[in-house]
Each structure stands twice: as C-alpha cells, then as structure tokens.
Chain A
Amino acid sequence: GAGVSQSPSNKVTEKGKDVELRCDPISGHTALYWYRQSLGQGLEFLIYFQGNSAPDKSGLPSDRFSAERTGGSVSTLTIQRTQQEDSAVYLCASSFTGGGYTFGSGTRLTVV
C-alpha cells in the first residue's frame, strides 16, 4: 500500500481482556517498529523487526506484550490481560534499513 496501515483505529476494552493490534507496513520496507505514546509523553519504543532476523524485544514493558511479523510483512501486537496503564496510542512504523520511519495513523487503546 501507499502508507503504513493500522487497525483498528480505536479500541476500547475491559481490563483483563486480550487485544490484538495490526500493522501493514509499506511494501518493500524491511524494518517494522512498534512504539506507544501516552498522553503528554514521548514515544516509547516497544519492538523492532528487521527482515528475517530475531526481533529486538528490549522495549516490551512486560511479558503481557508480544508481537509477531508474518512473512516479513504484516505485524500483530498482542497485549494480554490488559491493564489501565496500557491505555495509549500504539504506533507502527516501517522503513528501509537505516532510513527514517514512516508512521501509521495509530491505534488508540482505551482500557476501562
């Protein structure tokens, strides 16, 4: 596609439920990143995929968070047993190796 596509754009979930967030990167971009942005806060790195290499998971805040990237393209970020502090905008970005990121429009997650 022409840009990075994320779905859903908004998600409201009950505390304790699992959620899945999807990211479809720009075709040909080998790198894919997940960040989150809380109100008034900066962008927090979560996880990075590069080609077929093992992902860099160093930013995942707890073992409730996981992500996968299938076929080097679409990625899914899963949050298990959601907590209120997980409420944030989850941003996906993709790039060529070494390039600047192109961000998707984000998924606004609200845990009630």
Chain B
Amino acid sequence: QKEVEQNSGPLSVPEGAIASLNCTYSDRGSQSFFWYRQYSGKSPELIMFIYSNGDKEDGRFTAQLNKASQYVSLLIRDSQPSDSATYLCAVKGGLNSGYSTLTFGKGTMLLVSP
C-alpha cells in the first residue's frame, strides 16, 4: 500500500472555478501535512501546512484535514491559469515515514483553462 496517494490527474477546471485536490495517507500516526506546488521544470514550493483536524484558510487556498479518515484536501477558490501546476501532498511524523522527514505523494496535475 502506497503511503501517500493522490490522483495523478490532470484535473481540469475553468478559470474562476473551485479546484479540489485530494490526498490519502496510510500511516495513522502522521502528525503534520503539507501542500506543495510544483511548476514544470521547477522545484516544489510550500503553499500550506495543517496539523489539526478541520479547515485552515490562507487567501484563495483552504487545507482540510480529517485524521479519522486519513484524508487531506486542498481547495483553490477562483482558480487562475497561473495555478496550473502539479500539487504535491506530503506527510510527516508517522512511524513509516520517519518522524522528521516528509513523505510525498506523486502529485496531481491541475490545469486551469482561461
């Protein structure tokens, strides 16, 4: 069983719509959760992190965490073509992933059409 799973996509949404990106993880002991954005040919950049169950909002981005369901999501409101990228979910703190290192999913490609 893969430790961090994401749908590879592409997820296609029109400009202005809400994009919903999902991630599941296998290690129930995981403590913290991160979303990174990676443009083609570039390195990942941190968008948000979340530690507690519920929602965390930052501008157009909302991270949602449900530890009971082992599920993390990222919502992007008012999607822009510049949001087109691969979004990586990463998990830290579980036994399987190492308490101090991030385990990454393979990412979901998002395409926002004008």
**Residues of A bordering B, CB below 8 Å:** 31, 33, 35, 41-43, 45, 48, 50, 56, 58-59, 91, 97-98, 100-106
Q: In this assembly, does B49 line the interface, its C-beta being within 8 Å of a C-beta of chain A?
A: yes
Given contacts A42-B104, A58-B98, A101-B44, 5 further A-B contacts (CB under 8 A): A43-B88, A50-B100, A98-B32, A101-B46, A103-B44
Please determine whether B43 and A56 come into contact, CB atoms closer than 8 angstroms: no
Minimum CB–CB distance for A45 against chain B, Å: 6
Q: Mark B75-114, 1 if CB is under 8 A from A, else 0.
A: 0000000000000101000000010111111110000000
**Residues of B bordering A, CB below 8 Å:** 32, 34, 42-46, 49, 88, 90, 98, 100-107
Which residues of B lie under 8 Å from residue A48 when comparing CB positions?
A: 98, 100-101
Please, how many angstroms separate the alpha-carbon atoms of A100 and B45 in the complex? 10
Please, how many angstroms separate the alpha-carbon atoms of A104 and B42 in the complex? 9
Please determine whether A31 and B100 come into contact, CB atoms closer than 8 angstroms: yes
Minimum CB–CB distance for A110 against chain B, Å: 14
Please, how many angstroms separate the alpha-carbon atoms of A102 and B32 in the complex? 16
Complex A-B: 26 CB contacts under 8 Å: A31-B100, A33-B102, A35-B104, A41-B106, A42-B88, A42-B104, A42-B105, A43-B44, A43-B88, A45-B101, A45-B102, A45-B103, A48-B98, A48-B101, A56-B100, A56-B101, A58-B98, A91-B43, A91-B44, A97-B100, A98-B32, A100-B49, A101-B44, A101-B102, A104-B43, A106-B43
